[in-house]
Structure 1
Amino acid sequence: MAYFKYGNVNIYYELHGDENRPVVVLLNGIMMSTLSWHGHLSDLTRFFRVLLMDFRDQGKSSKMSKEFDISVHVEDLNALLDYLNIEKVNIVGLSYGGQVAQLFALKHPYKLNALVLANTPARIPPYLQELGEAWKEAARLYDGEKFFKLAIPFIYSDSFYNSNLSWLKNRQKAFKQLLNKDWFDGFIRLASSNLSFNTLNELPSISCPTLLLMADRDIITPIREMELIKERLPQAESLIIHDAGHAAFLEKQEEFLSAVIGFLLRYS
């Protein structure tokens, strides 16, 4: 657990596992942090060295004073890999992190061994843009409990809510205690950073082995959006996680890990 200083930005990162194993970088969704992946580490570190990082304006990394474009995270990650003397990695990008992963694959293909895009779009269609605006309005209330009530139901499937309401209510209380103005302002900047994101025309340039992980109850990144990626990456493999929403990596953690580990082991 450490910080990497890049310009005037401190990027928080964690390295877990045997340094002799292949490196897997896990890139966060927009509301996540390195802590969001800790429940996955025991399985992943059996096979890989795992690099976690918080994007700027996220988790323990520096908070920004003005808006930025999502592409800045690509150079943050690239500089971090150089700093750690890591020449080649596998990347698992979730949602927003998957958008960063696409941009990294396009700009630094020689550093990428294999790619997993989970619940990730290649563009921001009108529905997702409007949902992002709604999230930002909820964030401007600067109230963690209200933000949870207004934003989080979109992330999980209805079946997960029905089966885990007590756990979710405890998470709601935690949001009230943990989220402060800095977190909300950072989230608003992150949610504003990808409005023009669109890699559809560039995707055919990605040549590394790629796995597309979809979920059948994901309304944030519906299967049809990820099928647009599949059409442009015909060599990519795809897998649908059933009875799960946008947070399939938590709702169906075992299935998610089995898919990721099985795929990456074939190319590591």
Structure 2
Amino acid sequence: MAEFVVDDSLKINYHLDGESGPVILILNGIMMSTASWADFVPVYTENNYRVLRVDFRDQGLSDSYPEDYRIDIHVEDIIKLMDQLELEQVIPVGISYGGMVAMLMAIKYPERIKSMVLANTVSRVTPYLKAASQAWQEAADLKDGRKFFKLAMPFIYSDYFYKHNQEFLASREEILADVLDEKWLTRFNRLAESSYDFDIENQLAKIEMPVLLVAGERDILTPLEKMKEIADEIADSRLITINDAGHASCYEKMDEFNTVVLGHLALTAKNN
């Protein structure tokens, strides 16, 4: 674990794994942290990539930021970290909320991105996605991790995954019941609110680097049709659908997710 400082005193947690090679920048979904990617790291480091994981403000082991803010605040934090680590370019892999951050970064700092993976994300927070987030906030206000898990997870995992993974979900509920404490739930609410006015639909054409879009066939939060809209606006993009996967496609079909990401990296990361 390492830290860097923004805003004079606010500490941001990060991990950089791997000895050499292009740097994959993992940008978390809203309920995730650097710890969420522990099983993914060796897949990429063993293929000669470095993996940079970061907890956003109000996430994981990073400090809390108990003020109103917008999602684009994270972009400057990432650029500051890259400068500190002397990284000229990275390859963002952004999931959901992290995908939004990746697109904002690509629009503002295109020279710092070699290529990009956007999974289960949107270019605009739709009324349905906002309503789901507000429902999660109502659940978070109960200050009960077990209840939050029960109320939030049916939006995240597909019906197919629920049917075939009851034991896994029960074990995750037990693990997360204590992790999702009052502090976590309060921080989650601020992160959720930061994206409510997110809308870059009219700026997608500015994204010119190679982009892989990964959609879940059964994702109800960031549905396939919305991913197709992003693909239509980004000239150098390719859309892959993971069948029978919901919003958590990277977990539901981990091997398939890693395979398509590694394929994209093989085509784009080591060129030039």
1:34-183 alignment runs, 5 A limit: 34-46=34-46, 47-183=48-184
Q: Which amino acid aligns with 2:50?
A: R
Q: Secondary structure at the match of 2:75?
A: helix
* Residue matched to 2:26: 26
Equivalents in 2 of 1:266, 1:100: separation in Å?
23
1:225-264 alignment runs, 5 A limit: 225-264=226-265
String of CA shifts for 1:82-135, please: whole Å, max 9, x gaps: 011111111100000000000000011001000110001000111111111000
TM-score (structure 2 length as normaliser): 0.96
**Percent of pairs with identical residues:** 45
* Residue matched to 1:214: 215
Contact 1:63–1:182, Cα closer than 8 Å, also in 2: no
Equivalents in 2 of 1:131, 1:32: separation in Å?
17
* Residue matched to 1:194: 195
Equivalents in 1 of 2:179, 2:133: separation in Å?
21
* Residue matched to 1:2: 2
Equivalents in 1 of 2:25, 2:33: separation in Å?
13
Q: Which amino acid aligns with 1:161?
A: Y
Equivalents in 1 of 2:179, 2:102: separation in Å?
28
Contact 1:213–1:238, Cα closer than 8 Å, also in 2: yes
State yes or no: 1:11 paired with 2:23.
Answer: no
Equivalents in 2 of 1:234, 1:23: separation in Å?
23
Shift of 1:264: 1.2
Aligned length: 267
String of CA shifts for 1:202-251, please: whole Å, max 9, x gaps: 01011100011001000010011111111211431110000100000001
Shift of 1:176: 1.6
Equivalents in 1 of 2:90, 2:130: separation in Å?
31
* The 10-residue stretch of structure 1 (4-13 or 244-253) with the greater mean CA deviation from structure 2: 4-13
Q: Which amino acid aligns with 2:234?
A: L
Shift of 1:28: 0.3
Contact 2:217–2:224, Cα closer than 8 Å, also in 1: yes
Equivalents in 2 of 1:77, 1:147: separation in Å?
29
Q: Which amino acid aligns with 2:142?
A: L
Equivalents in 2 of 1:171, 1:67: separation in Å?
31
Equivalents in 2 of 1:23, 1:235: separation in Å?
20
Q: Which amino acid aligns with 1:200?
A: E
Equivalents in 2 of 1:162, 1:39: separation in Å?
23
Equivalents in 1 of 2:67, 2:169: separation in Å?
32
TM-score (structure 1 length as normaliser): 0.98
- Unaligned 5+ segments in structure 2 are none
Q: CA RMSD in A?
A: 0.8
Q: Which amino acid aligns with 2:154?
A: P
Equivalents in 2 of 1:136, 1:230: separation in Å?
30
Contact 1:74–1:103, Cα closer than 8 Å, also in 2: yes
Q: Secondary structure at the match of 2:12?
A: strand
Equivalents in 2 of 1:191, 1:91: separation in Å?
21
Q: Secondary structure at the match of 1:201?
A: helix
Q: Which amino acid aligns with 1:5?
A: V
Q: Which amino acid aligns with 2:149?
A: F
Equivalents in 2 of 1:87, 1:117: separation in Å?
20
Which 4+ residue blocks in structure 1 deviate beyond 3 angstroms? none
Q: Secondary structure at the match of 2:154?
A: helix
Equivalents in 2 of 1:235, 1:178: separation in Å?
40
